[in-house]
Amino acid sequence: MADEITVLVNPAARGGRTLRLLDPVLQRLRASGRPVSVIVGTSAADALSRAREAVAAAPAALVAFGGDGLVHLAVQALAGTAVPLGIVPAGTGNDIAGALGIPRKDPLAAADVVTAGGLRTIDAARLGTGEWFAGVLACGFDSRVNERANGMTWPPGMAKYLVALARELRSFTPIPFRITLDGEAVEREAMLVAVANTRSYGAGMRVCPDARPDDGLLDVLVLGAMPKGEFLRTFPRVYLGGHTAHPAVTLRRARRVEIEALHGAGDVVAYADGERAGPVPLTCVVEPGALRVLVP
């Protein structure tokens, strides 16, 4: 139905705060007088399949009710189509919503944006695998922490990531990368490489604070090799964007970004929008105007 709002809910959500917020959000959306349907897949793959079927029917919007990971899933169904993306943030970081001015801590206000907001056309980036991302792709220290944390069963919650960070820091060494920007290659040892369509990831880490999602370019940050003590002093500055003046930081813009880990680096995996995108080498290409988003 052309006026129907389809709401995509995280298939991994099992009670708790996220689902407690769902009913009030659905009521607010239905108060607009439009029909509202809900998609909850049995898995991420099933949710994506259902989302693609819904988008093929050309609803008024596909709304991601969740965090950046669910927005990432919705983008796989929406990129390159005319169906708008709505976001009702209900995750931990909600960085993509924040970059677009969508209320991150008030789900009902975000629901009002879906029904009464305007349309904004933004870029998205596509990997060589065909996967899209709307926010930030990163590989290096932070992706190694993610890999380690995802393999742990204890402790629960954010404590798992803190333990993984401390363990990874003990063993981490700078990674030798070859990074090619619009055909221009440079080889450099780095702690972190980030490719950004929006400014932040990881619950507010402003890795590329000047990134704009509608300029037809990807912002690329390389944090060069440094001693661990210096890294510990520098890394927290990312939350305020204060790291960009550090001499080990390089910031560039490009339409096409190729990342390769050189011989001896071991396994290097990238994460996009907080989701595992797979090992390097990989290529990111910006696709201007690939997404339509409902914004304030």
How many CA atoms are closer than 13 Å to the CA of 15, on its beta-carbon side? Answer: 0
pLDDT at residue 2 above 90? Answer: no
Q: Is residue 274 part of a domain?
A: yes
107 and 190, same domain (yes or no): no
Residue 267, judged by CB atoms within 10 A of its CB (0-12, 13-18, 19+), counts as: exposed
Q: Is residue 126 part of a domain?
A: no
Domain count, the chain: 2
Q: Check residue 214 and give its pLDDT.
A: 98
Cα separation, 8 vs 74, whole angstroms: 8
Q: How many residues does the chain have?
A: 296
Reply yes or no on whether the pLDDT at 265 is more than 90: no
79 in a structural domain? yes
Q: Is the pLDDT of residue 161 over 80?
A: no
Residues 189 and 239 reside in one and the same domain: yes
Residues 86 and 226 in one domain: no
Q: Provide the pLDDT for residue 252.
A: 97
Has residue 293 been placed in a domain?
no
Residues 201 and 284 reside in one and the same domain: yes
Residue 152 pLDDT level (bands cut at 50, 70, 90): confident
Amino acid (1-letter code) at residue 106: D
Place of tokens 């390089």: 250
**Residue 210 predicted with pLDDT over 80:** yes
Domain for residue 252, yes or no? Answer: yes
Mean pLDDT of 191-204: 92
Q: Is 219 domain-assigned?
A: yes
- Of residues 296 and 17, more confidence is placed in 296
Looking at the domain assignment, is residue 254 inside a domain? yes
For residue 180, what pLDDT is reported? 98
Mean pLDDT for 105-126 is: 95
How many whole angstroms separate alpha carbon 152 and alpha carbon 199? 29
Q: Which distant-in-sequence residues (6+ apart) come within 8 Å of 2 by Cβ?
A: 58, 59, 60
**Residue where one domain finishes, among candidates 50, 83, 116:** 116
pLDDT at 240 > cutoff 90: no
**Are 170 and 284 found together in one domain?**
yes
Structural domain including 140 reads 136-288
Same domain, residue pair 144 and 258 = yes
Residues 247 and 177 placed together within one structural domain of the fold: yes
Identify the CATH number of the domain in which residue 263 sits: 2.60.200.40
Percent of the chain whose pLDDT exceeds 70 = 96
Is residue 122 situated within a structural domain?
no
**157 and 208 fall within a common domain:** yes
DSSP-assigned letters across all residues of 122-167: EEEEEETTS-EESSEEEEEHHHHHHHHHHT---S-THHHHHHHHHH
Same domain assignment for residues 172 and 284 = yes
- What whole-number distance in Å separates Cα of residue 167 and Cα of residue 146? 12
> Is residue 107 located within the same domain as residue 27?
yes
Please check whether residues 283 and 215 belong to one and the same domain: yes
pTM of the model: 0.93
**123-139: per-residue pLDDT in tens?**
999 999 999 999 999 99
- Say which CATH number the domain at 82 has: 3.40.50.10330
203/68 Cα distance (integer angstroms): 9
Q: What is the residue-averaged pLDDT of the chain?
A: 92
Q: Does residue 15 surpass a pLDDT of 70?
A: no
Whether 277 and 141 map to the same domain: the answer is yes
